[in-house]
Amino acid sequence: MALSELSPAERHRVIGGDFTDRVRGTKDWDVPSPVTEWTARDVVRHLVEWFPGFLQGGTGITLPAGPSVDDDPVGAWETQFASVQGVLDDPSTAGKNLSNPHIGEIPLDRAIDQFYTSDVFMHTWDLARATGQDDVLEAAYAAILVDGMEPIEEMMRSSGQYGPRVAVPPGSDAQTRLLGFIGRDPFWTP
């Protein structure tokens, strides 16, 4: 089933599972990543560090702390992945909203899906490319993301979360277009 056909909880399970496979397959955490000045460890650090505060600030939900990314990047990721999946699978959070001054109030599962799960999807490429693993993303979902972000490019760039767009060849596939849009050189190698 295509990622776009899944519920937010199911999509997180699949995307997070793919990222988990890359995390478990990483042999050297200090190799450079396609994100300037980040190592493979920093890719995991980014996901583990930004989201808990976003979730807690917008919902009051506090995720359990895992081990330090410096000491145990696999354990840190696995703890967060399981915790976020637990929030999505918990019937008591089904009606909750996330409130944020920049995005307003939106259903919690949609907020996780839109802001976090999509981030995990994109960073799967970063970690895979840095560590020499399978870096192919689902083309249809990559197309949905890039097609949804392009109309709001100015707002996204002004947020400081995305670097300058990298030009890609005309007619590039969805993954290449997505990577270029988020500021990655799709042809980067370690």
CATH of domain 6-136: 1.20.120
pTM: 0.94
Tens of pLDDT, residues 28-71: 999 999 999 999 999 999 999 999 999 999 999 999 999 999 99
For residue 12, name the pLDDT band (cuts at 50, 70, 90). Answer: very high
Residue burial 52-66, b: 16+ Cβ < 10 Å; e: rest: beebeebbebebeeb
For residue 156, name the pLDDT band (cuts at 50, 70, 90). Answer: confident
Average of pLDDT values for 79-105?
93
Structure tokens at 19: 């990222």
Give the residue range(s) of CATH 1.20.120 domains in the chain: 6-136
State residue 1's pLDDT score. 85
The interaxial angle of helices 40-59 and 73-89, nearest 10 deg, is 30
Tens of pLDDT, residues 83-94: 999 999 999 998
Query: How many other CB atoms are there within 10 angstroms of residue 122's CB atom?
Result: 18
Tens of pLDDT, residues 108-139: 999 999 999 999 999 999 999 999 999 999 99
State residue 162's pLDDT score. 77
